Amino acid sequence: MRIGVLTGGGDCPGLNAVIRAIVRKGVPEYKYEFVGFRDGWRGPLESLTMTLDIPAVRGILPRGGTILGSSRTNPFKIEGGVDQIRRTLMNLGVDALIAIGGEDTLGVASKLADLGVHVVGVPKTIDNDLSGTDYTFGFDTAVGIATEAIDRLHTTAESHHRALIVEVMGRHAGWIALHSGMAGGANVILIPEVPFDIAKVCDWVESRYRNHYAPIIVVAEGATPLDGTMAQVAGEKDAFGHVRLGGIGESIAREIESRTGKEARTTVLGHVQRGGTPSSRDRWMATRFGLHAIDAVHDGDWGTMVALRGSDIIRVPLAEATEKLKTVDPTLYAEAEVFFG
Ligand code: F6P
């Protein structure tokens, strides 16, 4: 049997660990051959392939990024895209696909599975916002990077009596902001799930100064102000219709300066959060996802995604995992509010 493997969406620490585990189990145990599809769904659309055998996956476990490359190509937005994918799979003698990705890549996988393509999914995203799994790999690494940044920013905030705003990733879900903000002792955490009141944020900033400390505000890039309280930030859209975000941290800094008279500066962590070597937890999770994904292929369990539930790896329908995003429950956010101000 020949299996195609692809990685789609934003890169994420741990992608290579999944690829390695798939090949390291699939070749000796099930005698499968693999085809690496390059650059997400663009690979099967344009027949972009690479060799994916045991020598190809040697030494990649601790490497960030993805040896297969990635893209945000959406075959359902391309005329004849799905037929083209079917043709490629047939021409290359590929019987099944393993798609490693987030909501967009796995959303495509789910629709293809409905159309009869043999697909198994693996959940990846630093945002941790995929339903059906307790955690996605990449998240732990991203939280570690953001926490270290917050730790380092505390010293500058205190030395210069500045309000420091740290903008982290999280388009629709505030998981990175919540976890890193709590771990790093932020004084305010703003997440997309709970629109914020800038006047309240400024109150917290001022109360922090009254206690002779300088405030650290962690804001998810997708956080939004309450309607009519502050200007909104807009950007271009990608092939999945997502606006390119970035800029809310700077807007908050300007508001804090004008409303409180205190100096405010912003650090945007951006792609640093997705780059570099995965944490040991992410390597462990990604490796187990890879091992279980190839088992799902062996069982012909098409249209499923491997998922972490407690410490077990289970399989859930791709349709269920991609139906709606896993966002932060407001009660969980309320726990962090104890430390605001
Ligand atoms: O992969 C998800 C994510 O990390 C989001 O948090 C972020 O908005 C987006 O990727 C940025 O992606 P890109 O690098 O394609 O602009």
**Per-position DSSP letters for 242-257, written without gaps between them:** PBP---HHHHHHHHHH
Q: Order of strands across the sheet with 264-268?
A: 188-190, 216-220, 163-168, 264-268
Percent of the chain clearing pLDDT 70 (strictly above)? 97
Reported confidence tier of residue 242, pLDDT bands at 50, 70, 90: confident
Domains delineated in the chain:
2-138+278-322 (3.40.50.450), 140-274 (3.40.50.460)
Q: What is the mean pLDDT of the chain?
A: 95
Report the separation in Å between the CA atom of 224 and the middle of ligand 1, taken as the mean of its atom positions.
17
User: Which DSSP symbol is given to 269?
Assistant: -
Report the separation in Å between the CA atom of 207 and the middle of ligand 1, taken as the mean of its atom positions.
34
List, for residues 194-228, the tens digit of each pLDDT value: 999 999 999 999 999 998 889 999 999 999 999 88
**Known catalytic membership, residue 127:** yes
List, for residues 312-330, the tens digit of each pLDDT value: 999 999 999 999 999 999 9
Reported confidence tier of residue 42, pLDDT bands at 50, 70, 90: very high
Residues with CB under 6 Å of ligand 1 are 9-10, 102, 125-127, 169-171, 221, 244-245, 274
Nearest to 153 by CA among 264, 279, 278: 264
Residue 262 pLDDT exceeds 80: yes
Distance of CA 135 to the CA centre of its chain: 10
- Tracing tokens 């903000």 back to the chain, one arrives at 181
d(CA 147, CA 151): 6
Classify residue 104 as left (phi > 0), alpha (psi -120 to 50) or beta: alpha
Residue 38 pLDDT exceeds 70: yes
Residue 125 pLDDT exceeds 90: yes
- Probe ligand 1: pick from 12, 74, 171, 238, max atoms within 8 Å of CB? 171
Residue 305 pLDDT exceeds 80: yes
* 143: number of Cβ within 10 Å: 26
- Tracing tokens 């505390």 back to the chain, one arrives at 154
Report the separation in Å between the CA atom of 170 and the middle of ligand 1, taken as the mean of its atom positions.
8
* 300: number of Cβ within 10 Å: 10
Residue nearest to atom 13 of ligand 1 (CA): 10
d(CA 102, CA 134): 14
The DSSP bridge partners found for residue 40 are none
State mean pLDDT over 168-192.
97
Residue 244 pLDDT exceeds 70: no
- Tracing tokens 């690494």 back to the chain, one arrives at 141
Ligand 1 atom nearest to CA at 125: 1
Burial class of residue 28 (count of CB atoms within 10 Å of its CB; 0-12, 13-18, 19+): exposed
Q: Which of 127, 129, 282, 295 is catalytic?
A: 127
Nearest 5°: phi and psi at 236?
-70, 165
- Tracing tokens 């297969």 back to the chain, one arrives at 68
Reported confidence tier of residue 246, pLDDT bands at 50, 70, 90: low
- Probe ligand 1: pick from 15, 74, 127, max atoms within 8 Å of CB? 127
Report the separation in Å between the CA atom of 130 and the middle of ligand 1, taken as the mean of its atom positions.
14
- pLDDT value at residue 245: 67
Report the separation in Å between the CA atom of 195 and the middle of ligand 1, taken as the mean of its atom positions.
20
